Amino acid sequence: MSNTPKLFTPLKIGPVTAPNRIAVAPMCQYTADDGSMTDWHLQHLMTLGMSGAGLVMIEATGVERRGRITHGCVGLYSDANERAMARVLAAARAVQLPGTLFGIQLQHAGRKASSQRPWESGAALKADQDPWQTVSASAKAFGPNWHTPEALDEAGIARTIEAFVQAAKRSVRLGLDVIELHMTHGYLVHQFFSPISNNRTDNYGGSLENRMRFGIELMQAVYAAVPKTVAVGVRIAASDWVEGGVTVDEAVTFTAKLKEQGAAYACVSSGGLDPAAKITVGPGYQVGFADEIKKKTGITTRAVGMIVSPEQAEEILIKGQADQIALARAFLDNPRWGWHAADALGVDLHRPPQYDRARKALWPGEALKHK
């Protein structure tokens, strides 16, 4: 048996293999220009590409203009967007650690679109802030003072799926290894999935089978449109944390169906659908959901949510609760998280030679800091 900590063993995700089991979770930067990545993204993804994570997920990327959360969200709905992302990816790949994979999260914000950046309040855009008409499963606003969306009709559903397909094709042209369909955090696919936001009486609402239909058709369409060398996966909603909302049992059923349609993995998250939700947040608070989904569906599973230390990440993998660990805020705080995890777990991780003299074995800096 190898002594390599599980966190640093390779992971096959459908047709691609990540060099280790650390993923940078997708994180909106709200700093794009009409969907196009800027110099901010250049530094952000160059840094994360050499972070030691085996997979770096690009932030939620709107498949159409109205599918962005804010005016600052990244999109992949125009040639200009594609060119801007190509520039950033070329730079990030030029400095990435060997084998690092890049993935993209494709997204439609539905009724949570047309909002302000979090640091500007996060509320719905006001009349003088260039708001736009939002869409959803039903004409039901996210909460008080939110825009009332238009319910998509069947033609609108088909057009939305086509927008995902086109963005997926752009992602393939960009050479991305992983395409993730965003199905949680209260955005459009989740709005169809949850009985709280979906009051439809047609084939896309009512029973669980009908509420899953939009997500399943989306998975089928994107899977069919991209070469089999690219992993297509999902980020799934395991709970709405509110009475009458999505349950983990429903998430298990949904994930199993998505797997049948070709989903290579599920990243298990929750919440964001209902402002009244009471989420019990704490270390590894969503790991139990990932564990259940992994055990009951057999899909390659990524756990996320308040996973902070390398030891905590390693323990989740050793216990078999997930196959991969994603971290978000820990990477904002310390974009060399992977290097330090390697040090902590006794792994000799390749660092860029330009920075190698800061390695623990060559420099006692960490130890001196606390003297």
Ligand X SMILES: Cc1cc2nc3c(=O)[nH]c(=O)nc-3n(C[C@H](O)[C@H](O)[C@H](O)COP(=O)(O)O)c2cc1C
Site residues for ligand X per CB under 6 A: 25-28, 59-60, 105, 182, 185, 235, 269, 304-307, 327-330
Classify burial at 166, counting beta carbons within 10 Å of its beta carbon; exposed 0-12, middle 13-18, buried 19 or more: middle
117 versus 296: smaller Cβ distance to ligand X: 117
Return the sign of the alpha-carbon dihedral for residues 319, 322, 325, 326. Answer: negative
- Residue pair 137/197 in contact (Cβ under 8 Å)? The answer is yes
**Residues 6+ positions from 333 with CB-CB distance below 8 Å:** none
- Residue pair 81/109 in contact (Cβ under 8 Å)? The answer is no
19 versus 72: smaller Cβ distance to ligand X: 72
205 versus 286: smaller Cβ distance to ligand X: 286
CA-closest candidate to residue 177, choices 14, 7, 357: 14
The answer for 116, left when phi > 0, alpha when psi is -120 to 50, beta otherwise, is: beta
Q: How far is the CB of 271 from ligand X (least distance, A)?
A: 9
What is the distance of C-alpha 86 from the center of its chain? 19
State the Cα–Cα distance between residues 81 and 215, nearest whole angstrom: 25
> Which residue in 77, 187, 223, 265 is the catalytic one?
187
Q: How far is the CB of 222 from ligand X (least distance, A)?
A: 17
Q: How far is the CB of 128 from ligand X (least distance, A)?
A: 26
What end-to-end distance do the CA atoms of the chain give, in Å? 39
State the Cα–Cα distance between residues 60 and 188, nearest whole angstrom: 12
Annotated active-site residue 30? The verdict is no
CA-closest candidate to residue 178, choices 222, 107, 236, 230: 230
Q: How far is the CB of 281 from ligand X (least distance, A)?
A: 9
Q: Quickly count: other Cβ atoms within 10 Å of residue 350's Cβ.
A: 14
CA-closest candidate to residue 182, choices 104, 250, 114, 118: 104
42 versus 279: smaller Cβ distance to ligand X: 279
Q: Which two tokens stand for residue 41?
A: 């993204």
**Residues 6+ positions from 331 with CB-CB distance below 8 Å:** 24, 25, 27, 48, 51, 53, 337
88 versus 151: smaller Cβ distance to ligand X: 88
Q: How far is the CB of 214 from ligand X (least distance, A)?
A: 18
Q: How far is the CB of 169 from ligand X (least distance, A)?
A: 21
State the Cα–Cα distance between residues 268 and 237, nearest whole angstrom: 7
Beta bridge partners of 302: 267, 324
Q: Which two tokens stand for residue 112?
A: 């949570």
Radius of gyration for the alpha carbons in the chain, expressed in angstroms and rounded: 20
Q: How far is the CB of 27 from ligand X (least distance, A)?
A: 4
86 versus 328: smaller Cβ distance to ligand X: 328
151 versus 274: smaller Cβ distance to ligand X: 274
- Active site members: 187
